[in-house]
Amino acid sequence: MTITEIKNDIIEEFAMFEDWEERYQYMIDLGKTLPLIDAQYKTENNIIKGCQSKVWVHADMKNDKVIFTADSDAIITKGIIAILIRVFSNQHPKDIIDADTDFIDQIGLKEHLSPTRANGLVSMIKQLKMYAIAYQTQLN
């Protein structure tokens, strides 16, 4: 699936829920399906700076596609990173770099997060894109 197709699926999924209580529960459930980071990558180097909670992200490249794994010590944050990884994992670095994150506004996520979690969300997106830039540089 392309990034756009995945984003559209996420927008449709969130539209099914009546209120934010249900959407938070759905995010928590998504966090439970997150491809977990290997214990060896749960290091200071892989912690996303700017997040109130601890969020570890690791990236690898296989067949010119970036594969992300992650974990967090907070259930909502784990759900947020799960959504981002669902969108960006198994994609070509250039597609990740070029992708916009408008779906976050469309599902209303940013407006329903505390300011510190919203900052953490921005930090997560930046870090995922930085990995993509690093891998794209290797491909050039």
Q: Which residues have a catalytic role annotated?
A: 51
Of 74, 78, 98, 79, the closest CA to residue 88 belongs to 98
The partner residues of 66 in beta bridges, in order of sequence, read 61, 91
Residues 20 and 57 sit within 8 Å (Cβ to Cβ): no
Residue that the structure tokens 């799960």 belong to: 82
> What is the distance between the alpha carbons of residues 124 and 56, in angstroms, rounded to a whole number?
10
Of 54, 56, 60, 52, the closest CA to residue 42 belongs to 56
Residues 87 and 70 sit within 8 Å (Cβ to Cβ): no
Residue 6: count other Cβ atoms within 10 Å of its Cβ: 19
